């Protein structure tokens, strides 16, 4: 069974319904034969009229990576390093990027394992997410195939200008490669020009600020994403400007992106409040110590202060008057094919 996501509703002022795939899918079946797509858009945007796929009404269980944390990080770094050696930019996203950035904070790694992402006691990672540039898509495919990864021909055929999926040859994990930007509840952009985008600002991961944006853009944010943010804030300070410091979150950069985007701004403030709420639950259960919570709280508060204080633009003010009466996010539904 394969799970995909389609975009049905868009924020005010955003046009075009493009089909999207989820950041964390549960369709990892290395030997599956991809079914014929029922309803997609081609790269030119023309709809293939083949009916509407049924919605998935059952919760799905994640498939975890069958490697230790250290082995998985080593695999990911090997892919990024191989790409770098050929002049191709690839960077690690998501929870594994947080894990890599937190290696210098042993207490953060311990807390990560103690809380778990999906639930306490479960492995941390479900797949490998990478970011690259669309202009280097062919090169990225070549690098993965040389390392024995098998392409998902259906997904890559339909979405290869913005998304690629590959399966590790031994069935240990699958790889999602996003190109130029993340397009989910809200957009997180990395640029289109190799050598002159945000991917060059850190190595082997995207920047901490972009990881925060990656998580804050999620409308229906899950426990695992809130835990990711807790661990990131526990291990890293939030500063008004990072000034090139790779182990600090640049609050000014994040807030600056939202000066004219009320929807993303509102989503971010709501998700930061949810981080605080879940953290309070963990403290009451004795799973997060009060001093740990205080550190996380201070850093969440610093980012919230930047979001509140940044000067707002005319479009932000206009959209704020509408508020939640209209959708402020791109709706992403799961469907089964």
Four-point Cα dihedral 149, 155, 158, 159, nearest 10: -80
Q: Which of 12-26, 106-120, 125-139 has the lowest mean pLDDT?
A: 12-26
pLDDT, residue 333, reads: 60
pLDDT digits (tens, 9 = 90+) for 141-165: 999 999 999 999 999 999 999 999 9
pLDDT, residue 62, reads: 59
Buried b (16+ CB within 10 A) or exposed e, 21-51: bebbbbbbeeeeeeeebeebbeeeeeeeeee
| Residue 139: pLDDT over 60 | yes
Q: Which residues lie below 8 Å from residue 197, measured CB to CB, with a gap of 6+?
A: 89, 133, 190, 191
Q: What is this structure's pTM? A: 0.82
- Which residue in the block uniquely carries the two structure tokens 């950041």? 23
Mean pLDDT score of the chain:
84
Cβ atoms of 96 and 72 closer than 8 Å: yes
pLDDT, residue 100, reads: 97
Over residues 107-120, mean pLDDT: 93
Over residues 282-300, mean pLDDT: 97
Q: Could you tell me the two tokens for 320? A: 């704020």
- Which residue in the block uniquely carries the two structure tokens 């409308």? 219
**Residues of the chain above pLDDT 90, percent:** 74
pLDDT, residue 133, reads: 98
pLDDT bucket at 285, cuts 50 / 70 / 90: very high
pLDDT, residue 332, reads: 82
Provide the 10 A C-beta neighbour count for residue 153.
12
Count of domains observed in the chain: 1
Cβ atoms of 128 and 169 closer than 8 Å: no
pLDDT bucket at 51, cuts 50 / 70 / 90: very low
pLDDT digits (tens, 9 = 90+) for 191-215: 999 999 999 999 999 999 999 999 9
Q: Which residues lie below 8 Å from residue 336, measured CB to CB, with a gap of 6+?
A: 1, 2, 3, 53, 54, 55, 56
**Helix H or strand E segment including 83:** helix 69-85
Distance (Å, rounded) from C-alpha 335 to C-alpha 4? 6
Domain of 76?
3-336
pLDDT digits (tens, 9 = 90+) for 54-109: 333 333 455 788 888 999 999 999 999 999 999 999 999 999 999 999 999 999 99
| Residue 242: pLDDT over 60 | yes
| Residue 335: pLDDT over 90 | no
What string of DSSP letters covers 161-191? TTEEEEE-TTSS-EEEEEESEEESSSEEE--
What string of DSSP letters covers 200-238? GGSSSB--HHHHHHHHHT-SS--HHHHHHHHHHHHHSEE
pLDDT, residue 232, reads: 98
Identify which of 134, 123, 178, 128 has the alpha carbon closest to the alpha carbon of residue 149: 128
pLDDT, residue 6, reads: 41
pLDDT, residue 10, reads: 41
Distance (Å, rounded) from C-alpha 11 to C-alpha 24? 22
| Residue 7: pLDDT over 80 | no
pLDDT bucket at 337, cuts 50 / 70 / 90: very low
Over residues 276-285, mean pLDDT: 97
Alpha-carbon separation of residue 17 from 170, 269, 299, 331, 332 (angstroms) = 36, 26, 36, 10, 11
pLDDT, residue 269, reads: 98
Distance (Å, rounded) from C-alpha 49 to C-alpha 84? 41
Over residues 215-234, mean pLDDT: 97
| Residue 38: pLDDT over 70 | no
């Amino acid at each position: 069974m394969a799970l995909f996501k389609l975009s049905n509703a868009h924020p005010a002022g955003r046009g075009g319904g493009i089909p999207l795939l989820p950041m964390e899918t549960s369709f990892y079946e290395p030997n599956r034969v991809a079914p014929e797509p029922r309803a997609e858009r081609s790269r030119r945007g023309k709809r293939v009229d083949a009916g509407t796929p049924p919605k998935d009404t059952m919760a799905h269980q994640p498939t975890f990576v069958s490697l230790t944390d250290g082995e998985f990080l080593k695999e990911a770094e090997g892919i990024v390093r191989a790409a770098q050696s050929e002049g191709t930019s690839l960077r690690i996203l998501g929870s594994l990027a947080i894990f890599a950035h937190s290696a210098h904070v042993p207490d953060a790694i311990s807390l990560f394992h103690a809380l778990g992402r999906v639930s306490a006691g479960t492995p941390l990672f479900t797949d490998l997410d990478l970011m690259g540039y669309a202009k280097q898509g062919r090169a990225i495919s070549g690098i993965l195939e040389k390392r024995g990864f098998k392409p998902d021909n259906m997904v890559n055929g339909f979405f290869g200008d913005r998304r690629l999926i590959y399966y590790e040859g031994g069935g240990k994990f699958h790889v999602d490669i996003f190109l130029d930007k993340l397009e989910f509840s809200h957009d997180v952009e990395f640029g289109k020009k190799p050598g002159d985008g945000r991917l060059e600002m850190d190595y082997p991961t995207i920047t901490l600020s972009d990881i925060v944006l990656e998580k804050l853009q999620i409308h229906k944010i899950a426990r695992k994403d809130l835990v990711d943010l807790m661990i990131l804030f526990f291990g890293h300070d939030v500063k008004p400007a990072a000034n090139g410091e790779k182990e600090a979150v640049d609050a000014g950069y994040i807030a600056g992106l939202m000066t004219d985007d009320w929807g993303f701004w509102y989503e971010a403030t709501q998700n930061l409040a949810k981080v605080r709420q879940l953290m309070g639950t963990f403290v009451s259960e004795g799973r997060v110590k009060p001093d740990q919570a205080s550190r996380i709280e201070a850093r969440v508060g610093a980012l919230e202060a930047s979001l509140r204080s940044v000067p707002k633009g005319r479009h932000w003010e206009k959209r704020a008057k509408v508020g939640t009466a209209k959708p402020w996010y791109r709706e992403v539904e799961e469907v089964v094919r």
